[in-house]
Structure 1
Amino acid sequence: MPPQVRQARADDYSDVVAFTRETWSERDVEDYVPRVFEEWVETDGPTQRTVVAAIDGRAVGVCQGVVLTDYEAWLQGMRVDPDHRGDGVALSMMEDLLAWARDRGASVARDMVFSWNDGGLGLSRAAGFGPATEARWARPEPDPDASPDLDAIDDPDAAWSHWQRSDARDRLAGLGVDPGEPWSLSEITRERLHAGLERVIALGDETGTRATTARVRRRERETDSGAETWAVYGHSAWDGPDAARALFEAVAADAAEIGVDHTRVVIPETCRHVSEAAAADGAISDEPFFVLEADLTGSA
């Protein structure tokens, strides 16, 4: 029997938790879907749709679509019961959400897949997604004594101009962490740098702007030892090793000033950027993540 794709309901919770509780148990990675599923259902509306795929009345798959901007959509949380993988469950949900996003005016849809998730990468390509960009996280620790060697430039336009001419912009396909939806990326615009972000950080010297990033949001995460707070910096660009060092020093100082426990900074997945970030701070994620995208402007 083919899966029935429908709007998720609160009474799907037990089914969803049952097949997502140990999604990546072999990697000792916690799946966030059981924690957020009830909130997803409660907050669904014109710009958000959570679906399940049901077989014989039981939910065996879940996925969510979100409209981020006038033209950008995001798919996330794709999960399928291991007993029903290969039954067309995931593709059915993705096709439903891509059609939904297209109906709401989106011209592009994207998703994020970690590099180790072979199944997720293959599924995205099978659903018509192609490569957009790859990145990873730098994680400078908050430090009240951090002091960047470059001067602070309190000017979003300086940050925008530097971003526009940087190789980081090209490598990241112009994308950065979306300010409205955790774990999603959308196009960075000049308007976004002027409004909607917590803080834009630009650094420079007598030659001009040398590095830039922006604090997008703070979030709290529950762990076995209690709550931890994170500051997320949605993009980064710098001109060389000394500018990288100054940028991560500025992030460490900023994070300490607002009192968070940890940081995440998006960096391009290139040899230059990863090696210079490692040399500047030493704390980077073990593996990159990939962003894939689907063109929704065709008739398919």
Structure 2
Amino acid sequence: MTGGIDYADDDEIVVREAVPGDYPAVAAFTADTWESGDYIPDAFPRWMESDDPDTRTFVAVDTTASPPAPEDVDAVDPDDVDEVADDRAVGICQAVGLSEHEGWMQAMRVDPEYRGRGLSRALNDAGFHWLYETGRRVARNMVFSWNTGGLGASRFNGFDPGTEFRWVQPDPDPEATARTDAAGETGADPDATWGFWTDAGARDALDGLALDDSESWALSELTRDRLRQAAADDRLLVVSAPDGGVGGFAFRARTSEREDDDGETTVRGEYGVAAWEGPDSCDALLAAISRDAAAVGADTTRVLIPESVEWVSDAALAGVDVGDEPDFVMRADLTERHWA
């Protein structure tokens, strides 16, 4: 997409692709999104440096307003700004192609002074249009369950309810063992695992989705090829059922590093999904994840599981930390939307 798209209900606002010079304005209106801050001021420069054909970042700009000077924005180092855009960015959204047919929408933010003017709809449509033009036919996003404003905006912008999940965090432990020996870790056969997944209640609950291998926080379809690649990379963990056969599995999507306010680096093992049948297999699987996380040097973990009293209570019974609230995934069928 080149140039800008006039938004019919507001002559001052245009949606266009982001440029590096938008950095001061974007950092200014996203620095205090939440009390804990926002990742976008740090991420935006990296987005602008990356020439990724599967990613597009869009901004809504006020063509009548000037952007802030870099030295006036606490989140910006003026030495990092080579140029400033001619207009003022007042909204941002990013579209990411996860596979040939799946897209992901993220980083939707609107300057508080410009809310209520339809900017999120305009930004969302720009992302939908680009995803559709690049062959994607479904777009998803994630909204924290407590973010009712984000949920309402997602529905208004064309998303329908999708699925929900929760994070659990077993501690890395090289000596972790299950409470019983009714189930245990077995060979990581990806085809047998695929057979388990196709009939698993967890797959139905998650609409076949798991944490994406490359895009942080995004969910995409879990395929046989992804399981085969995880097995080839020694990232697939499989446990038995008490009566034999596959009783559950998980795969490590990645490890990531996070730096806290004191400059200390924490390594987190991220597991794309954990699925099992019964508490014994759950117990064995979470112990296997603890050992795997320790083996790759992780300090913490997060493991995606379906949001249901069955799976959440199984994890609680196994004695691992469970996230306080679920997260929601929304879904938009791009074949049902049209753009000028």
Partner of 1:242: 280
Map of 1:273 onto structure 2: 311
Give the Cα–Cα distance (whole angstroms) in 2 for the partners of residues 253 and 30 of structure 1: 33
Deviations 1:173-222 (A, max 9, x none): 00001112111010000011111575111111552111111001111111
Give the match for residue 22 of structure 2. Answer: 12
Cα RMSD for the two superposed structures: 1.4
Q: Is the 8 A contact 2:137 2:333 kept in 1?
A: yes
Alignment of 1:102-113 (within 5 A): 102-113=132-143
Map of 1:179 onto structure 2: 213
> Is 1:202 matched up with 2:209?
no
What percent of counterpart residues are identical? Answer: 46
What is the number of equivalent residue pairs in this alignment? 297
Match of 1:282 in 2: 320
List alignment gaps of at least 5 residues for structure 1. none
**Structure with bigger gyration radius:** 2
In structure 2, how many angstroms separate the alpha carbons of the residues matched to 1:214 and 1:204? 15
2:239 aligned partner, one-letter code: L
Letter in 2 for 1:279: L
Match status 1:212 vs 2:249: yes
Equivalent AA in structure 2 for residue 31 of structure 1: D
- Cα distance in 2 between the residues matched to 1:2 and 1:184: 33
How far apart are the structure 2 equivalents of 1:237 and 1:178? 16
Match of 1:124 among 136, 154, 176: 154
In structure 2, C-alpha distance between the alignment counterparts of 1:88 and 1:151, rounded to whole Å: 52
Structure 2 contact 230–236 (Cα < 8 Å) conserved: no
Shift of 1:44: 4.3
Residues 1:248 and 1:120: Cα distance change in structure 2 (over 3 Å): same
Runs of 4+ in 1 over 4 A off after TM superposition: none
Residue 2 (structure 1) shift: 4.3
Contact 1:48 1:67 in 2 (8 A): yes
Q: Is the 8 A contact 1:153 1:204 kept in 2?
A: no
> How has the CA–CA distance of structure 1 residues 299 and 282 changed in structure 2, closer, same or farther, with 3 Å as cutoff?
closer
Could you tell me how far apart the structure 2 residues matched to 1:45 and 1:232 are?
A: 23
Q: Per-residue deviation at 1:41?
A: 1.6
* Equivalent position of 2:196 in the other structure: 162
Tell me which residue corresponds to 1:260.
298
Q: Is contact 2:171–2:320 with CA below 8 Å preserved after alignment?
A: no
1:81 shift after superposition: 0.6
Structure 2, unpaired ranges of 5+:
1-10, 65-86
TM-score (norm 2): 0.85
Code of the residue aligned with 1:72 in structure 2: it is: E
> Where does residue 30 of structure 1 map in the other structure?
37
Task: Give the stretch that moved more between structures: 290-299 or 244-253.
Answer: 290-299
Does 1 or 2 have the higher relative contact order (CA < 8 Å, sep 6+)? 1
Q: Secondary structure at the match of 2:26?
A: helix
**Matches of 2:139 and 2:127 in 1, distance apart?**
9
Q: Would the aligned equivalents of 2:230 and 2:251 in 1 still touch at CA under 8 Å?
A: no
Deviation at 1:10, TM superposition (A): 1.1
Alpha carbons 1:3, 1:88 under 8 Å: kept = no
1:227 aligns with 2:265: yes
8 A contact 2:169–2:321 mirrored in 1: yes
The C-alpha deviation readout for 1:129-151, integer Å capped at 9, x for no partner, is 01111001000110111134413
- What's the CA shift for 1:297? 1.5
In 1, Cα distance between the equivalents of 2:322 and 2:12? 43
The Cα of 1:36 is off from its aligned counterpart by 0.5
Cα distance, 1:87–1:44 mapped onto 2, change above 3 Å: farther
Pick aligned residue for 1:188 from 218, 222, 225: 222
- Per the TM alignment, residue 43 of structure 1 is displaced from its structure 2 partner at its CA by 1.5
User: Is 2:143 the counterpart of 1:133?
Assistant: no
Map of 2:71 onto structure 1: none
Using the size of structure 1 for normalisation, the TM-score is 0.95
- C-alpha contact (below 8 Å) 2:15/2:61 kept by paired residues: yes
